[in-house]
Amino acid sequence: MDEQKREEEIKEQPVKPAGKFLRIKPFALIMLIFLTILLTAGLTILALTFGDKKVVEVKEPVERAEFTRLYDAFDELKDNYYVEIDEEAVISGAINGMFDALDDPYTDYMNTTEASHFNEGLSSSFQGIGAEIQERNGYIVVVSPIKNSPAEKAGLLPQDIILSVDGESIQGMTATEAVLLIRGEKGTPVTLTVQRGEAEPMEMTIVRDDIPIETVYGEIDDDKMAHIQITSFSEQTYDELVAILDELQAQGMEGIVLDVRQNPGGYLTAAIDIASLFLEEGQPIIQVQGRAGEPEVFKAEGGKKFTQPITVLIDEGSASASEILAAALHESGNAEVIGVNSFGKGTVQTVSYLKDGSNLKFTTGKWLTPKGNWINEKGVTPTIEVQYPSYASLSYVDPATELSSGMNNKMIEAAEGMLEALGYNPGEVDGKFDANTASAVKAFQKAQELERTGALVGDTTYALMDALRDKIKQEDPMVLKAKNVLLGTEEAQAE
């Protein structure tokens, strides 16, 4: 009864009318929400940027004032030069100009083509004549020919100046630009006009070939003296050297002649790692001085060591990493350095690779010997000076040019010098192809089992230069001296 009464009371209460409400379409609602979010974000950014507690500083970009003249010059040429300019060539030229202004022969800008050739030279092989060159005072100078390369076989020597390539003057070119002309496909000839000392310029025609980058050669003699030649310092040189030393050590190696003659250098790290093989742990190898601060000293690390007595051979073609190694072994390891004054490159370079494939190669510091000496443009001075024999620097004789009786020129004088050095009597070495010269040529041709024509050309000329090269190798006065020093003979102590 009570429940029925409560239900009736509820039904009797008046019903209140509903309040007013806003009607909005769904699309309009979505747009309203979106605009609200945008407005909130904008107010937040303004507050953070310009408010009292701003966290972001917005600045308009400022043009670098030092480039104003460069931009003005470029725009003037682009707008008013009498023909349309090659923008890429002009920009590359501007970069080259910055590098040239540094007056540093080891600092260079390489466009994409030049950079490709440079990077190719760091690979396991390339095609060309096989010579390290450098720009000096506007001239292209040979630093060193690569061992067993066409350049070495043709007789190209350190300090030779290359005046032209296939008749095109290269004076004023960078080394990178000259390389583009000298390199080429295997089997193709290139003619170099070469200035050697005060002599008349001579032409060398060299046939390009594959130039493998094999960097270490070694042999051992009956006295158990090892002769190790390092031709450059590449990424694999350390491993090549250790492999050869292990092999010769198994054969009873008792002394080491480390030969870095005609070695133009390479990777700094390779020179440091190799020096560590022969120096006690902790001994200084090199100091590298950057733009600011104290020099960084690199020291010999522990690990594999070869403790046999060692001598080092250098010459005017020994540069950079070769000089680092020679100086380190002398100043920190008391090794005798034998030969003639080295090239004198005392700076360190790095290569920066740009996005378009071009390279920037520039000097980042200078290096000092363990005792703080800077050998730049002075070279490492040998502790025992031994000169090459005079016949080792005789001028090139072109096999394509026939030399015969009645002729008189500088090539004949060089050929007479070769014949005389090999024990054949050409008479007076005067550049005149007389009866004595012809007789000496015939005697040489007989010994070489060649047709006895009495004239120098082709196979006879090649055989003559090969025979002289073998003589230089077999009777190398620097190697003989170095071995005598290691053996402690009276001959070594007499000089």
- Alpha-carbon gap, residue 127 to 121, rounded angstroms: 9
Alpha-carbon 2 to chain mean position: 112
Query: Is 361 noted as a catalytic residue in this protein?
Result: no
Kindly state the DSSP code that residue 107 receives in the 8-state scheme: -
- Alpha-carbon gap, residue 431 to 289, rounded angstroms: 51
Q: Determine how β-strand 336-339 pairs with β-strand 310-314.
A: parallel
Q: With contact defined as beta carbons under 8 Å apart, do 135 and 175 qualify?
A: yes
Task: Considering the candidates 114, 331, 413, 416, report the single residue annotated as catalytic.
Answer: 331
Nearest to 271 by CA among 313, 210, 319: 319
- Alpha-carbon gap, residue 76 to 227, rounded angstroms: 62
- Alpha-carbon gap, residue 286 to 370, rounded angstroms: 5
Rg of the chain over all Cα atoms, to the nearest angstrom: 37
Strand ranges in 47-170 using DSSP code E only, listed in sequence order:
108-110, 125-128, 131-136, 139-145, 161-165, 168-169
Task: Considering the candidates 153, 345, 361, 481, report the single residue annotated as catalytic.
Answer: 345
Find the helix or strand (DSSP H, E) in which 243 lies: helix 237-250
Kindly state the DSSP code that residue 22 receives in the 8-state scheme: -
Query: Is 345 noted as a catalytic residue in this protein?
Result: yes
Task: Please report where in the chains the tokens 């920190």 appear, as a residue.
Answer: 332
- Alpha-carbon gap, residue 220 to 479, rounded angstroms: 12
Query: Is 54 noted as a catalytic residue in this protein?
Result: no
- Alpha-carbon gap, residue 91 to 75, rounded angstroms: 12
Q: Which residues are catalytic?
A: 320, 331, 345
